[in-house]
Chain A
Amino acid sequence: MKLTTFMTGAAVALGLATSGIAADKTKVGFVYVGPVGDGGWTYEHNEGRLAVEEAFGDKVETVFVENVAEGPDSERVMTQMALNGADLIFTTSFGYMDPTINVAAKFPNVKFEHATGYKTADNVSVYSARFYEGRAIQGHIAGKMTKSNIVGYIGSFPIPEVIRGINSAFIHARKVNPDVQFKIVWAYTWFDPAKEADAAKVLIEQGADVVLQHTDSTAPQAAAQKAGNVITFGQASDMAQYGPLPRVSSIIDNWAPYYIERTKAVMDGTWTTSNRWDGISAGMVGIGEISSAVPADVKAEALALRDAIANGSYHPFTGPLKKQDGSDWLAAGEVADDGTLAGMSFYVEGIEGDIPQ
């Protein structure tokens, strides 16, 4: 008996908590997988949060919890934010996907935004960035600037997101330099500065004079600087402190425009479920300043490529393209569809080596 009463009470309270929010301030919650001080992934999401505060001033209140483990801890943190009156919650790691869906089902009036996932619901949107667009520009510069024709690539885990980036960079490097080869090393970590530094050093020792990274620390930049005559690109954040050499440009995760737009939509009551995959055009993927170390003509081509991608006249995955095994993928002029890109688990023709299973 007592248990039933308790449960009814809980249900009522839950209902109250979700519907009875004072409407004067919009409350936005952020769940981070790493520390704000990681200088990479979480750092950039937090910059987005600060931009929301800046844009709306005292009409908005933001809260965040950092270092939240994927799994039950994240579910609890999201629930706690929803109970405390959050109107909109950004969950910023792939591993939060199922927890986000679970919590969203309990709080139909709270909006959820899950980064890099693929499951949506009435009150759950997903968003991700087309980083591969930036990779195309990196590939172009790399292909033009390499003298050894060996481009090193530090991967984190062999997942579609990373494979897409490798393919995009490779396609555009080959386009301007038919002799270029990619050397790919998997670090099996998103964040282990010492290991990333080691991976960069190994690639350089094996002849790479361009190092691309899909891990978030500046360790590879420092390794390249020490080695000399190697160029790199900033990842996640601009890493401008390593310019003009070795860092010649960067891909910046810029979540601010999206976070501001979605917060505004909640304020205006116009929020609807969406599946957003934005790139350079929407400003979600930023191309950092191309440094003076890049020759003027290469820089001009790179900027032209950026503009073509931004205005939609060019797609980085445009046929004719073949898969690594030589089978046809895209016919001439054909453009890859988002479904294939989202689940990409093959290399394009010309890349050597296998994707680890």
Chain B
Amino acid sequence: MMRLEKRPQASQGFAYATPLLAVAATFFFGGLLFAALGKDPVEAIATIFWQPLFGEFAFYYRPQLLVKGAPLVLIAVGLSLGFKAGIWNIGAEGQYIVGAICGAAVGLACYPAQSALIFPAMVLAGALGGWLWAMIPAVLKVRFGTNEILVSLMLVYVAEQLLASMSLGLLKNPEGYGFPGSRNLQQYPSAHNAELIAGTGMHWGVVAALIAVIFAYVLLARHRLGFAIRVTGEAPRAARFSGVRPVRLVLFCLGTSGALAGLAGLFEVAGPAGQISIDFNVGYGFTAIIVAFLGRLHPIGIVLAGLLMALTYIGGDIAQSQMGLPAAAIQVFQGMLLFFLLAFDLLTHFRLRLGRTEAV
């Protein structure tokens, strides 16, 4: 019999080793999958993981990693604060959408005026929109004790309908021949979240993600609030004795994650995406939840996890066009990677024991 035994302290070694183990397992089983589809497994895996980083056109893909990874990291960092404290915002997708709508609306309302103030105003509106959307579950939780997991999830659907309504109605491009979708903000200099240095993929969203990571790191490591978050997650009763005020914590965690998701939405709509459209959201809010866990709720881990996810998206598209792998195979491959990463995390907190030894 094999049994699990909880480690008194999380294993440092395994915390670093498990992601590698998971990736190795994914290579193996993913390789089997690709082979079953009649493709060369080694080539497929190399295409997904090697080409974007070190291939012939890495100069283009490396910046794209930032573009694709930044929203994931920005959202995930915010979520991780709440997750650590046992506050579950799984509606980041909705906050992302509402942030984008609010930010874009400010920009579109100013069109075609040019002013250096427009973009900052949009950033504020985006953060505010996401914050407000997250305040709904926060206030309901604080006031009525309503489950925030479910309320925030419900609000995603509401936001999606709102997005459809906006792209077909209020924010529709008046010069767009009746097609759904807003004006393209990329063609409106005052509202455009352009690359800061051309060709690097660095736009304000990437900068914001970096700032958020540093902010979260300092908060968790040094600040009293960070201590409150950690202690609430690990030992809620002890937290109350040590003077943590749960109401404040809920408002802070949900508000911060909402504002960051809203910012991610704004930077995306004003930059890489360019416009509000019915299908503007592509699931960053949900993927970010996975990223937060893959990163073990640690700011640095989240950066790595976000980049890893971005890599599988970008490499997956390359594998599709170069090797004719179906998109579905890439999805299954990503699913496997997530499964293994989640499963192997066990080894960080538990050790496997053979035999019947009783736990101490």
Contacts and interface: CB of A to CB of B under 8 A. Distances in A.
Contacts of A10: 59-60, 199
B203 to A, nearest CB: 10
Interface stretch (B230-238, B294-302, B316-324): B316-324
A1 interface: no
Interface string A157-169: 1111001000000
A70 B277 contact: yes
Interface stretch (B104-112, B119-127, B172-180): B172-180
Contacts of A217: none
Contacts of B278: 157
A64 B328 CA distance: 14
A294 interface: no
Contacts of B318: 80
Interface residues of A, number: 48
Nearest to A71: B273
Contacts of B268: 71-72
Contacts of B273: 71-72
Interface in A250-269: none
A295 interface: no
A77 B327 contact: no
Interface in B257-299: 268, 272-275, 277-280, 282
B197 interface: yes
A11 B59 CA distance: 10
A188 interface: yes
A293 interface: no
Contact of A160 (B64, B177, B280): B177
Nearest to A345: B178
B200 A66 contact: no
Contacts of B314: 76
Interface in A109-163: 118, 157-160, 163
Given A80-B317, A157-B168, A357-B169, A9 B197 contact: no
Most buried by B among A13, A64, A68, A73: A73
Contacts of A331: none
Most buried by B among A3, A76, A356: A76
A3 B68 contact: no
Nearest to A162: B178
Contacts of B60: 10, 14, 79-80, 83
Interface residues of B, number: 43
Contact of A3 (B57, B200, B322): B200
Contacts of A84: 57, 321-322
Contact of A77 (B280, B317, B328): B317
A7 interface: yes
Given A75-B272, A98-B274, A68 B317 contact: yes
Interface string A1-21: 001001101110110010000
Nearest to B330: A67
A197 interface: no
Contacts of A158: 168
A83 B67 CA distance: 18
A283 interface: no
B184 interface: yes
Nearest to A3: B197
Contact of B184 (A73, A80, A98): A98
Contact of A81 (B56, B199, B200, B321): B321
7 contacts: A10-B199, A29-B321, A64-B321, A71-B274, A76-B68, A77-B317, A159-B178
Given A80-B57, A98-B275, A357-B169, 10 more contacts: A9-B59, A10-B199, A36-B326, A71-B277, A72-B67, A84-B57, A98-B186, A157-B180, A160-B179, A344-B178
